[in-house]
């Protein structure tokens, strides 16, 4: 009797934990868990710039003057990106080129604010983050390809 009560309690606990995981439906009706960065979409450009400046200050040990300059630079970039997003046209290629030009301009101005050591560390962190994102995209594409193959065959 004790064993069945313990098994029942374990089953209830497991079901409770499984149902507590949040899932939502996207526009196509597919279920997915919210990603860690989902809150970024709801942030204002000022909040994004502040968060970016805080992250760089912590990671690169920026001075107070550098932090102020980075925050104003990040704010200008975020406002520019916000404008690009609201004006997003059907020409995705042109929008991507505009975003790249904006990013290049940001990088050049940031290079003028940071010391050479800080900028080197920044580029390493950026490249690592990009590699990680590329890996996640490849994993996601691989899983979709496997799912299609298993459902078609």
d(C-alpha 144, C-alpha 150), whole Å: 10
Residue ranges in the chain modelled with pLDDT below 50: 26-28, 30-35
Total residues belonging to the chain = 153
| 41-61: pLDDT as tens digits | 678 889 999 999 999 999 999
Question: CA 36, 40, 46, 49: dihedral to nearest 10 degrees?
Answer: 50
A 10 A CB-CB count for 119 gives: 16
| 6-17: pLDDT as tens digits | 766 766 667 665
d(C-alpha 104, C-alpha 82), whole Å: 17
Cβ atoms of 48 and 40 within 8 Å: the answer is: yes
The model's pTM is 0.58
């Amino acid at each position: 009797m004790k064993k069945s009560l313990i098994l029942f309690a374990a089953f209830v606990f497991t079901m409770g934990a499984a149902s507590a995981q949040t899932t939502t439906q996207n526009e196509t009706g597919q279920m997915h868990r919210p990603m860690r960065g989902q809150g970024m979409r709801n942030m204002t450009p000022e909040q994004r710039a502040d968060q970016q400046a805080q992250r760089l200050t912590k990671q690169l040990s920026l001075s107070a003057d550098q932090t102020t300059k980075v925050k104003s630079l990040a704010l200008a970039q975020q406002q520019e990106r916000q404008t690009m997003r609201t004006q997003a046209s059907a020409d995705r290629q042109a929008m991507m080129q505009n975003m790249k030009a904006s990013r290049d301009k940001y990088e050049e101005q940031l290079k003028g604010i940071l010391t050479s050591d800080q900028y080197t560390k920044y580029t390493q962190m950026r490249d690592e983050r990009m590699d990680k994102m590329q890996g996640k995209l490849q994993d996601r594409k691989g899983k979709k390809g496997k799912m299609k193959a298993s459902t078609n065959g």
